[in-house]
Amino acid sequence: MQKFNIKSHSNLTYWINSYNFNGVEGLKLKANKKYSVEFKASVVNYYKTHEINPRDLAIIYNINPSQVYSWIKIFDLHGIDGLELSGKVGRPSMKKHKKNDKVVPLTDSERNKYINEIINLKSKLYNTEMENDIIKKRIALEMKKDIFLKHHK
């Protein structure tokens, strides 16, 4: 392995297994290949429903193992929608984007409409937070009651 500057035994094992399963095609680089959402979903689904590690799964589907790890992570974080956007997820491009300096001012009626919507949403948020606090308090009181009853039997 030192003769060929192979840093990891697992890389060599992966290449051997990939060759045994896919032949020479398993050793070719697949640069910038685009995969459909259905394909990505089928890979993730196979991983979720079978007891298989991502490296072996990559061999079966003849794709890069890091791609499998990436799709699994994206699916776990964002679901199927994340797989659809997986080429667009992550660090934004370093390309300079033209800024749209044209800001269209709102009319008074549009402004009032947005202000009212914000007020309504803040009110709903406040009410929801209050409901959650009440539920949490009730759970805490029930737990205290259970503990008290256990100790005073």
pLDDT of residue 63: 86
Q: Are 71 and 86 in contact (CB under 8 A)?
A: yes
Q: Are 30 and 41 in contact (CB under 8 A)?
A: no
pLDDT in tens, the chain (153 residues): 667 677 777 766 777 777 887 777 766 666 667 888 888 999 999 898 988 888 888 888 888 888 889 999 988 988 888 888 755 555 666 777 666 678 888 899 999 999 999 999 999 999 999 999 999 999 999 998 888 888 887
CB atoms within 10 A of CB 108: 7
CA distance 38 to 61: 13
Q: Which amino acid is at 78?
A: H
> For the whole model, what pTM was predicted?
0.46
CA distance 102 to 116: 25
pLDDT of residue 55: 87
Could you tell me which of 65, 75, 17 has the C-alpha nearest to residue 42?
A: 75
Q: Are 63 and 17 in contact (CB under 8 A)?
A: no
